[in-house]
Amino acid sequence: MLQELKERLRYMIDRAFAREFAGQFILFLVLVVVVTLVGMTAYFFGLFGPENEDVPGIPRGIDRGFLDSLWWSMQRVLRLPGFERMYGATPPILAYALFLSIMGLAVFGILVSMINTAMQRRIETLRKGDSPVKERGHVLVLGWSDKIYSVLRQLARLQPGSKVVILAPEEIEEMQEALRVNGSMREDLTIILRSGIPSNVEELNRVAVDRASSVIVVSPRADRDRLGGDSEVIKTMMLLAAWREWRGQGPTLTAEIALEQNQELAEIAARGRMHLISSSTVISKVLVQCIRNPGLADVYSELFAPYGNGLHVQSIGACSEQTMRDISYGFPDAIPIGIAWKEQQGEELKHASGLNPEPDYDIAEDEQLILLAHGVPVKFSQPGSAYTSRIYREGSVSARVPRRVLLIGWNGNVFDILVELDAHALRGTEIVLLSDMDPEAARKHVEQLLDHELENVSVEYLAGDPVERGSYSEIDLTSFQTIVLLADTSSGESDIDARTLRTLLRLSDLRRRTAASPHTVVELLDIANKDLLAGLHVDDVVFSDQVISAQLAQIAKQPVLGPIYRELLSAGGVEISLRPVGDYVEIGSSCSFFDLAFAAQQKMEIALGVRLAREGELFLNPERELAWCLDEDDRVVVLAQQLYR
């Protein structure tokens, strides 16, 4: 019975609150009446007894009974200001006094509520970042994707203490939590968040775009696999390119385009004002270079990491009027790999560069050196006599193009990867593509984007979940020289790397059962997952977000790097390559970096370091006093002209 009464009472209270104000007010009146009646029962416990005769708060002037008890209890419950002084007044006056006291209390409550609401709105406005940014010389990041975290790490390395403003169509709390979880809030940066649409003029004014030192536009993750993607990025680019209110030269503008087929439209929208990075093109070229050069991913990881060797530009007067050969031995902790200059293009001076110039190239006074170094400035000392290696060896360089490649997974880069493979492969190379995509749909998607047929490669499309064992029943893993795992977005899973790792576990088990040991290249998004690859027999790991974000951040801070990266990652230009030691020096002899540099110069190349096969150890821009006894499995890291064989 008691339990039923409690449930009935709880139900009535719930119904009262469900009726909003009316129900809540009725509940309030009931509560006042009940509590007042309970308070009146003090009459039976000596409220007007002789022991309480001297208590001033107990009225006795009316009847020392019901009315005085009611008055005393109401005063305790309602505590209406001024109403207690109406004791003894006539009923009409008491009614007026009660009404006015209650209304006065209501008016005061409304005033407090209004002030509280206004303060809450103001706090909410500040919390949401609706106030205009008053910074000057800040880095402005427009858009939001997983690359944000790597961009921030790069900016913290390039210019510690920088102020970074992020404008994105996300909730402030979500961005703050994501940055906290990924450790970005611990970087040596001042991060200011604003929620808004980057392609809106008012929003750009709110984040002081005209006072920014550089602007970075990132492509949302969702645009990677949509043929009509990049729309928001292109709209933002059009707005920035047409901006008329720049102060002085205006900021350095850098933008990411997710899909290569949108590159032409993006270039039109940019009007020559922006540095464009096509993430699908860049990642596909890096992956294919890693397919052709096992171990190359370690070189790119160091180049694009927030710390370690990177590309820098410096003017060194002492190098003017000298050849690249003359100066190459004068840097104890840097390697000159090219030259940079400014040239007139229309009404503007544009940065230009040339990588891997001939050893006899004379450096002009107005040219800067492109250096592989830990940082700038670097020291230069004039070398003495010309260096000559006694262990130099001539040899032919053979292109490493696998004849059978297994691609696993599907994302927006598949088309670019196939085109890039076709450009480098020998005729008759076979590509097998295993993914969740329907084979006919996958074939039509690729053919829709092709403006010419693939000449050197044939593609076989297979359907199947790469995580499941049954998908490999008709695949002979021992017949492939290279297996490539892409960051698979076809399944719609939120954690793309988790799916890649599950597929890698499946492959590791299958290879153990079949004794297959092909060269394995894996694309991951988050570098934090690197440690999970231990024991899975992965040869090369490309962290695609790191590669793109490094370029975005570095070009934003050093615009001269824009043409350098374009040349380094463009078809038909120069490339970083790993080549057999036996093509440069005598196998088994004591070898220094200067020996490798000399041998590379004879081939019109530039030596960058060495990769040892026994432990996969990479020495990029090594200390000059180091010496190795290299064997035939070791590789020389060189900057050389791309080979198509």
Give the residue carrying structure tokens 């492109």.
370
Residue 128 CA to residue 387 CA, distance in Å, equals 63
Give the residue carrying structure tokens 């949302």.
220
Measured CA to CA in angstroms, residue 501 lies from 145, 517, 574 at distances of: 21, 18, 33
Is pLDDT above 60 for 476?
yes
As a whole number, mean pLDDT of residues 194-213 equals: 93
Measured CA to CA in angstroms, residue 315 lies from 22, 72, 521, 572 at distances of: 78, 91, 38, 28
Cis ω before 377 (30° cut-off from 0): yes
Residue spans of the domains in the chain: they are 139-272, 404-544
Measured CA to CA in angstroms, residue 511 lies from 504, 566, 609 at distances of: 10, 37, 32
Mind listing the pLDDT tens digit for each residue in 121-143? 877 776 666 788 889 999 999 99
Could you give the angle at the alpha carbon of 312 between the alpha carbons of 314 and 276, nearest 5°?
A: 120
Residue 643 CA to residue 645 CA, distance in Å, equals 6
Q: Residue 53 in contact with residue 41, Cβ under 8 Å?
A: no
Say which residues have a Cβ less than 8 Å from residue 197's Cβ, sequence separation at least 6.
169, 203
Residue 615 CA to residue 601 CA, distance in Å, equals 27
Instruction: Choose between 344 and 232: higher pLDDT.
Output: 232
Mind listing the pLDDT tens digit for each residue in 532-583? 998 888 999 999 999 999 999 999 988 999 989 988 887 667 889 999 999 9
Assign 381 to helix, strand or coil: coil
User: What's the CATH class of domain 404-544?
Assistant: alpha beta
pLDDT for 643 equals 58
Residue 449 CA to residue 195 CA, distance in Å, equals 35
Is pLDDT above 50 for 645?
no
Mind listing the pLDDT tens digit for each residue in 594-618? 999 999 999 999 999 999 988 788 9
pLDDT for 97 equals 59
Say which residues have a Cβ less than 8 Å from residue 317's Cβ, sequence separation at least 6.
365
Q: Residue 150 in contact with residue 527, Cβ under 8 Å?
A: yes
**CA dihedral for 416, 419, 421, 423, sign (positive or negative):** negative
Q: Give how far the C-alpha of residue 315 lies from the chain's centroid of Cα atoms, to the nearest Å.
A: 32
Q: What is the side-by-side strand order in the sheet with 606-611?
A: 574-580, 635-641, 606-611, 618-620
The matching CATH number, chosen from 2.40.100.20, 3.40.50.300, 1.10.3210.10, 3.40.50.720, for 139-272 is 3.40.50.720
CA atoms within 13 A on the CB side of 225: 13
Say which residues have a Cβ less than 8 Å from residue 644's Cβ, sequence separation at least 6.
399, 423, 424
As a whole number, mean pLDDT of residues 171-185 equals: 90
Among 85-99, 275-289, 360-374, 427-441, the minimum mean pLDDT is found in 85-99
pLDDT for 489 equals 86
Residue 207 CA to residue 202 CA, distance in Å, equals 9
pLDDT tier for residue 388 given thresholds of 50, 70 and 90: confident
Q: Which of 312, 262, 243 is nearest to 555 (CA)?
A: 312
pLDDT for 16 equals 65
Residue 134 CA to residue 211 CA, distance in Å, equals 9
Q: Which of 604, 607, 608, 639 is nearest to 358 (CA)?
A: 604
Say which residues have a Cβ less than 8 Å from residue 336's Cβ, sequence separation at least 6.
319, 324, 327, 328, 369, 370, 371, 606
Q: Residue 351 in contact with residue 342, Cβ under 8 Å?
A: yes
Is pLDDT above 80 for 183?
yes
Residue 471 pairs with which residues in a beta bridge?
none
Q: What rounded mean pLDDT belongs to the chain?
A: 86
Run of H or E residues at 157: helix 147-158
Mind listing the pLDDT tens digit for each residue in 28-51? 777 778 877 887 888 788 777 777
Run of H or E residues at 544: helix 544-557
pLDDT for 324 equals 93
pLDDT for 396 equals 63
Kindly calculate the radius of gyration of the chain based on its CA atoms and give it in whole angstroms: 37
Residue 476 CA to residue 466 CA, distance in Å, equals 14
Instruction: Choose between 490 and 499: higher pLDDT.
Output: 499
**CA dihedral for 464, 466, 472, 473, sign (positive or negative):** negative
pLDDT for 249 equals 78
DSSP string, 253-283: EEEEES-GGGHHHHHHHHTT-EEEEEHHHHH
CA atoms within 13 A on the CB side of 71: 23
Give the residue carrying structure tokens 């499946």.
506
